[in-house]
Amino acid sequence: MKRKLLVLSSAVALCFAAGSASALTITTNVGATDAAAAATLIPAVLAPSSGISVVGGTEFYQGTPTTPQSGTYTGFNLAPSSGSTPTLTLPNGILLTSGHSDMPATNTTNSFSNALTQPGSGANAQLGALSASAGGTSTTNDANVISFSFTVDPGKTSVSAKFVFGTDEFPTQSVTDIFGFFVDGVNYAKFPGGELISNTPGNPTNFILNPVGSGLYGIEYNGLSQAFTVVGLLDPNVTTHTIMIGVADTSDSIYDSGVFIGGLLAGTDTGGGIGGEVPEPMTLVLVGLGLAGIGFSRRKRV
């Protein structure tokens, strides 16, 4: 499928549910080169006084910086317009997507796909291997990744960040667009049940359903994870560590997914993985209604 390359540079303010004074602002003009994008995104993902020192010259970005595939954000306080689904709150940080970060403030389509002209940003071997490890395909497209080496303050044993993963693959698609959080080569981005962070067909309770036209959450993605904290453990045998954070399409190059992530800092955790709020009962009801109304369908491969 051929795609038009959109060259955009903008700051998009997404204003959420009625009665909420908060607004999410995404700034998409992250730089005209990979190096410029890395120089913008990597400092923005770090928490103030993070205890993390980036090793100069190791900063890496994979994406299409001349299009808004990624961006920085502030004011993430995503409140539902009704019901008992949770308000999703994150510290300021960055948005990495498999399409465009310049997204609508309402959900109007089941197939949001600001597609990148192929080969776009290409494949990513680590994300492909991660997908394959769970029985999926190793084929990835439109990868959007940052990575760098770093040192930490004495006594620190871990790094952590807070994130929300959103996707238009959920709930109708069988393709599992993927998010990885690799610390010293190990991925710690898994749902509490052990599934990789993706649209997880057959396990919809990992997501809050945001049905098209419902106005529940003021964002385009059909499915949103809880606001999770992901913890990665540092290898005690090295003093200089590595981190890679990224998302990618798998199998095809359509239907966008993205991760909002911020507040990366060093800590003293002894266990890795993620934790967050358990979906409330109304979340599960909405998921059930959405699946009944929409049904599962395979997309036509392009």
Tens digits of per-residue pLDDT, 85-113?
A: 999 999 999 999 998 888 888 888 887 77
CB atoms near residue 116 (< 10 Å): 28
Q: Which amino acid is at 192?
A: P
pLDDT of residue 107: 87
The whole-number pLDDT of residue 183 equals: 98
Interval 169-201: pLDDT, tens: 888 877 678 899 999 999 999 998 888 888 766
With pLDDT > 70 as the criterion, what percentage of the chain qualifies? 79
Sign of the alpha-carbon dihedral angle for 242, 39, 196, 274: positive
- pLDDT digits over 255-286, tens only? 889 999 999 999 999 999 996 433 333 333 33
pLDDT in tens, 2-53: 333 333 333 444 433 333 445 889 998 777 789 999 999 999 999 999 999 9
Structure tokens at 298: 């395979």
The predicted structure's pLDDT at residue 302: 36
Per DSSP, the three-state class of 126 is: helix
Helices (H), the chain: 34-45, 125-133, 281-294
What's the rounded mean pLDDT across residues 150-174? 92
Residue 290's DSSP bridge partners are none
- Of 63-77, 123-137, 279-293, the one with minimum mean pLDDT is 279-293
Alpha-carbon distance values, 82 to 16, 206, 211, 282, 292 (Å): 12, 20, 13, 11, 20
What would the two tokens of residue 227 be?
Answer: 């606001």
Q: Whole-angstrom Cα distance, residue 188 to residue 190? A: 6
Q: Is the pLDDT of residue 300 over 50?
A: no
CB 100 within 8 A of CB 6: yes
Of the two residues 100 and 70, the one the predictor is more confident about is 70
Per-residue pLDDT, averaged over 129-146, amounts to 84
Partners of residue 262 on adjacent β-strands:
93, 162
Q: Which residue has the higher pLDDT, 30 or 236?
A: 236
The DSSP symbol for 194 reads S
Domain boundaries, given as residue ranges, for the chain: 11-107+120-294
The more confidently predicted of residues 161 and 124 is 161
pLDDT-derived band at 228 (thresholds 50, 70, 90) equals very high
pLDDT score for 119: 54
Q: What is the per-residue pLDDT for 281?
A: 31
User: What percentage of the chain carries pLDDT values higher than 90?
Assistant: 48
Task: Assess contact for 177 and 249: CB atoms under 8 A.
Answer: yes
pLDDT of 115: 57
Alpha-carbon separation of residue 110 from 11, 172, 260, 263, 295 (angstroms): 24, 8, 20, 30, 12
Which pairing describes strands 241-250 and 52-54: parallel, antiparallel, or unpaired?
Answer: unpaired
Alpha carbon 222 to chain centroid distance? 14
Which pLDDT belongs to residue 254? 75
pTM of the full predicted structure? Answer: 0.82
Q: Cα(40)–Cα(282) distance, rounded to whole angstroms?
A: 39
